[in-house]
Amino acid sequence: MADISLDSAAVTVDGPDGPVTILEPTTLVLREQRIAVIGANGSGKSTLARLLNGLVRPSNGSVSVDGLDTASDGAAVRRRVGFVFTDPEAQLVMPTVAEDVALSLRRSTSSAGQRRARALDVLDRYGLRELADVSVHALSGGQKQLLALAGVLATDPAVLVADEPTTLLDLRNTQRIAELLFSLAQQLILVTHDLALAERCERGIVVDAARVAFDGAAGDAVKHYRRLVSEA
Ligand SMILES: Nc1ncnc2c1ncn2[C@@H]1O[C@H](COP(=O)(O)OP(=O)(O)OP(=O)(O)O)[C@@H](O)[C@H]1O
């Protein structure tokens, strides 16, 4: 497992009336294999997730992965920490399915022929081989999500951060992506509104109003979140 540390990491952005803190100073060490991050819309979950691979940099404090600082060693951190967005459209940039996976392999494989061969292997692994030469725009939502995930996993990151990867999916595709996520050897940080999925993790972090409101066993985190909602 990777060693992800947040040391008083806070995020402040410029609002119309001055600075707004969207994540209060947060100190965490993330070492469990599967960690769920749950909480209300706008509470700060994505901000926390994006800190983990340097997509968002802390305004104060620091975030490191295996000793690499996300602010000063961003590229090395992103090689260790893959990130899957809620909306796969944000991630699929090449015309065809195989080309999209091949793009992910550009750092590790220099020959175009080898990249194509490796991309086909990856597609095979995720049940997408038959779609290799299809336009990414022709895929269904579930296929796009799977492809986005395959593209990230092709680079074999030590950690996968998935920000609501099942939100746009129907029940069958939700199950399919969930099974894939929970079968990975990689460390998984899962931001989700799917509480059944959250409960399957070893650890649960509840984010509420820009701070960590609970951190413990995933089942207890879900109970805490339900209590927060019923008291609101
Ligand atoms: N770059 C930014 N500039 C200004 N405000 C931002 C920025 N990024 C996030 N916010 C605000 O910070 C708050 C937390 O956002 P964040 O996306 O982390 O929430 P979330 O818990 O992931 O929500 P959701 O469940 O709706 O995805 C929101 O009010 C959001 O509008």
Are 186 and 27 in contact by the 8 Å Cβ rule? The answer is no
pLDDT given at position 147: 93
SS (H, E, C) 146-205: HHHHHHHHCCCCCEEEEECCCCCCCHHHHHHHHHHHHHCCCEEEEECCCHHHHHCCCEEE
Residue having the nearest C-alpha atom to atom 25 of ligand 1 = 41
128 C-alpha vs ligand 1 centroid, how far in Å? 33
Asked whether this complex has an ipTM greater than 0.85, the answer is yes
How confident is the prediction along the chain (232 residues), in pLDDT tens digits per residue? Answer: 889 999 999 999 999 999 999 999 999 999 999 999 999 999 999 999 999 999 999 999 999 999 999 999 999 999 999 999 988 888 888 899 999 999 989 888 878 899 999 999 999 988 899 999 999 999 998 899 999 999 999 999 999 999 999 988 889 889 989 999 999 999 999 999 999 999 999 999 999 999 999 999 999 999 999 999 998 7
Q: Where are the alpha helices (DSSP H) in 20-106?
A: 45-51, 74-80, 97-104
What global pTM score does this model have? 0.94
Q: Which residues are near ligand 1 (CB < 6 Å)?
A: 13, 22, 39, 41-47
Atom index in ligand 1 nearest the CA of residue 15 equals 4
57 C-alpha vs ligand 1 centroid, how far in Å? 14
pLDDT given at position 17: 92
Atom index in ligand 1 nearest the CA of residue 43 equals 21
List, for residues 133-185, the tens digit of each pLDDT value.
999 999 998 899 999 999 999 999 999 999 999 988 889 889 989 999 999 99
